[in-house]
Chains A and B, each alone.
Chain A
Amino acid sequence: MKREKLKKIEGLRRLREKLAKQRAAKKSWVIISSGTCGRARGSSKVVQAFKDVVKKHNLEEKVNLRITGCHGFCQAEPNVIISPEEIFYQRLKPEDAKEIVMETVLKRRVIPRLLYVDPQSGERITYKKDIPFYKKQHRLLLENNLMVNPKSIDDYLAIGGYKALSKVLEKMSSEEVIEEIKKSGLRGRGGAGFPTGKKWEACRRAKGDVKYIICNADEGDPGAYMDRSLLEGNPHTILEGIIIGAYVIGASEGFIYVRGEYPLAVENVTIAINQAKEYGLLGKDILGSGFNFEIKINRGAGAFVCGEETALMASIEGKKGEPSQRPPFPAQKGLWGRPTNINNVETWANVPLIISKGADWYSRIGNDKSKGTKIFSLVGKINNTGLVEVPIGITLREVIYEIGGGIPDNRKFKAVQTGGPSGGCIPRELLNLPVDYETLTKAGSIMGSGGMIVMDEDTCIVDIAKYFLNFLREESCGKCLSCREGIQRMYEIVTDISEGKGKEGDIELLEELANVVKDTSMCGLGQTGANPVLSTIRYFRDEYEAHIKYKRCPAAVCKGIISSPCQHTCPIETEVPVYVALIAKGRFEEALDVIRKDNPLPGVSSRVCHHPCEEKCPAKEVGKPISIRGLKRFAVDYGLRGRIKKAIPLKQTKNQKIAIIGSGPAGLAASYSLVQKGYPVTIFEALSVVGGMLTVGIPAYRLPKEILNTDLQVIKDAGVRIQTNASLGKDITIDGLFNQGYKAIFIAVGAHKSLKLSIPGENSEGVLDSLEFLKAVNLGRAVNLGRRVGVIGGGNAAVDAARSAWRMRNCEKVSIIYRRTEMEMPAFKEDVESAIEEGVEIQFLTTPTRILTQNGKLIGIECIRTKLGEVDESGRRRPIPIKGSEFTIDLDTLILAIGEQPDLSFLNNNQGLEVSSSNRIMVDPETFATNRKGVFAGGDVVTGPNTVIEAISAGKTAAISIDKYLRGESLKRRYSVTRPSVYVEPVELTEEEVAETKYPSMPRLSPKERANNFKEVELGFSEELAVKEARRCLRCDLERKEEKE
Chain B
Amino acid sequence: MSRITDWHIMGALALAGIAGPLLLPGLATQIAFLWLMVVFALTWDMLGGRMGYNSFGNIVFFGIGCYAAAVVQRDAGLPYFEGLALGLLVGAAAAVLAAIVFGAAMLGIRGHYFAIGTLGLGIAAGEIAAGWDYVGAGSGMALPLYPGELGSRELFFCYSLFALAGVCFLVFRWLYGTRFGLALNAIRDDHDKADAMGLRTTPIKIFAWSLSAFFLAISGGLAANMIGFIDPRDVAFAGATFGVWMVLMAILGGKGTLWGPVLGAFVFHITQELFWTYLLGWQRVALGLLIVVIVVFFPQGIMGWWAARRARAVS
A and B together in one complex: no
